[in-house]
């Protein structure tokens, strides 16, 4: 049996997406997965966007503020959340 060819995966996508969400969070901006897809290169695997949002939420950088429908044709009107970043100044006030 032949050895499968190594797939060339984008190994920096997750970190780049995390960095972008951190910048948006610091600005206190509202955003969703469509915004991330429009601002970034395609994710190497489907669904990776969700993991980045969940990770940022668990770290306390963003919070859900609305439910909405995706604008992306590939998502066929699928559900997504709109998130808002919590600026560092507000985080200090809460802590």
Domain boundaries defined on the chain: 14-94
> What is the mean pLDDT for each group of 10 consecutive residues in the chain (95 residues)?
58 96 91 95 92 95 92 80 77 51
Task: Give the start-end residues of each E strand in the chain.
Answer: 30-32, 62-69, 79-85
**What global pTM score does this model have?**
0.77
Which residue, chain included where needed, has tokens 């050895």?
A: 3
In terms of phi and psi (left: phi > 0; alpha: psi -120 to 50; beta: otherwise), the region of 45 is beta
Distance CA 16, CA 10 (A): 10
Q: Residue 48 in contact with residue 79, Cβ under 8 Å?
A: no
Give the domain 14-94 fold: Arc Repressor Mutant, subunit A (1.10.10)
């Amino acid at each position: 049996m032949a050895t499968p060819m190594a797939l060339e995966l984008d190994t920096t996508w997750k970190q780049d997406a995390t960095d972008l969400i951190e910048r948006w969070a610091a600005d206190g901006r509202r955003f969703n997965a469509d915004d991330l897809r429009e601002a970034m290169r395609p994710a190497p695997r489907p669904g990776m966007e969700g993991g980045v949002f969940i990770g940022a939420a668990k770290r306390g950088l963003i919070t859900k503020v609305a439910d909405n429908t995706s604008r992306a044709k590939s998502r066929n009107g699928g559900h997504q959340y709109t998130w808002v970043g919590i600026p560092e100044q507000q985080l200090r006030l809460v802590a």
